Amino acid sequence: MSFDINASPTKGFFVDMITRDIPLDRAILDLIDNSIDGAHRLIVGDNFEGLFVKITLSKDLFIIEDNCGGIPIDIAMNQAFRFGKPKDYNAPDHSIGRFGIGMKRAIFKIGKEIKVNSVHENSTFSLDLNVENWLENEEWDFNFTSKQKDMNNNISDCYTKIVVENLYNNISEELEEHYFLEELKKQISLAHSLIIQKGFEILINSEKVERKKFTIKYGENLKPLVVTIPFKTKDDEEVSIKIIAGLDNRDLNKGGWYIFCNNRLILDADKTEITGWNTQLEEDREDKVNKYHADFAYFRGYVIFDSKDAGLLPWTTTKTGLNADSEVYKAAYFEMRKVLKLILIFLSARNKQHTKFKKEEIDSSPLTSLIEEETNVVEFYEITEDGKFYVNAPEPKIVDKEPEPEGGTITYWKPKEELDLLKKYLKVSTNKDVGIATFDYYFTLISE
């Protein structure tokens, strides 16, 4: 008699779990990530000119195609269509398709009829998948419609094309909304700005997506702080961490931290405790970092993580958040807090008019892009032991002020109609002004 217990997942449950919590725009971004990984297999270096992803979408159809080298037949058979990545997965260096569920999650989310065609320099294949039929079958494997090995295709003719039809009703309705299309373009512009700058093209319904420019003030007297953190894991694997922080044009929504992993933006203008805001790690009051508010809307911080092994980077499966428990992120976090605290001290001093560095000087300082070619020859200034931030004004300059005399507050209540009458008579607008004016009037009488 067998006492074995069947604990295998059902297909329906598994598919529902991986598609439920990811928005449609994020699922599409995952498909773009896979194309960019294909580009990394082709390109050594940072010039991606001539490579593209084209997305065509409507209420009845979704198509994504690229010219990024195609999918090798061996990877298609053993890796690309598996749920999760096997231990021997051969990912390209600096990949962003990290977890092995992006393509499957996206196509299962969008529709019921899926066609994949791919031409690689050594092989070709096509795959037709009816999701409903596959769910009814106990077998988890997909079947190729056709495949061919040992070919000699021209690399310029290589491509991958995914067509999804018979879309789910909610997906069809979403794709028909103009707002969704504009939001998708915005998210792509943010997430893939760095690689777009390097020549890679992304098109939505034949319209080219322009990159988001990430800028920072860089003038004669105002330069950003730059910290580089060499990090090695216990297995001696390297992760590059670079922090660039300073000031930009004042914008309440755009202020905060921007986090990149292998050129992919994963956190946008973050103002929460996960990036050091509103935190205090020690009892000493000087350790406290304030909560984000309007006075700090000049702040911009960029953290750029890069590694050949994407598994070492601190991102989540949806690439929309940080794994704060990651050792790599912990190494960056404490430096981020130091940098943040220095800049907030300066902004607080400026807002209290305790520094000679005026708002006009900040506003007039020129901007530079973090990712334009000229920044390669710009000499960024490192943090020094005494916390220097401004080149010609290393620390906030405190203006000597006469000590304020001791004083007190006067508080009393009067009917609103009487207060309004006095405001009109005294030509003032606040209750406080009424109190000051009446106090000054009687104080002048007795002084004379």
Distances (CA, A) of 111 to 16, 27, 202, 209, 234: 13, 12, 22, 25, 43
Residue 130, SS3 per DSSP: strand
Same fold, 11-208 and 215-382: no
Which CATH number applies to 11-208? 3.30.565.10
d(CA 254, CA 249): 9
Q: What are the structure tokens assigned to 287, written together? A: 């350790």
Residue written as token pair 């890796």: 79
pLDDT of 362 above 70:
yes
Counted residue by residue, the chain has a size of: 448
Pairing outcome for strands 256-261 and 299-306: parallel
The full set of domain ranges for the chain reads 11-208, 215-382, 416-447
**pLDDT tens digits for 10-66?**
777 777 777 777 889 988 998 999 899 888 888 877 889 999 999 999 999 999 999
d(CA 305, CA 265): 10
Report whether 261 contacts 311 (CB < 8 A): no
Residue 102: the pLDDT is: 63
Q: Tell me yes or no: is domain 215-382 CATH 3.30.230.
A: yes
Residue 372: the pLDDT is: 46
Residue 87: the pLDDT is: 59
Higher pLDDT, 233 or 395: 233
d(CA 230, CA 261): 15
**pLDDT tens digits for 88-124?**
555 666 777 654 566 777 888 899 999 999 999 999 9
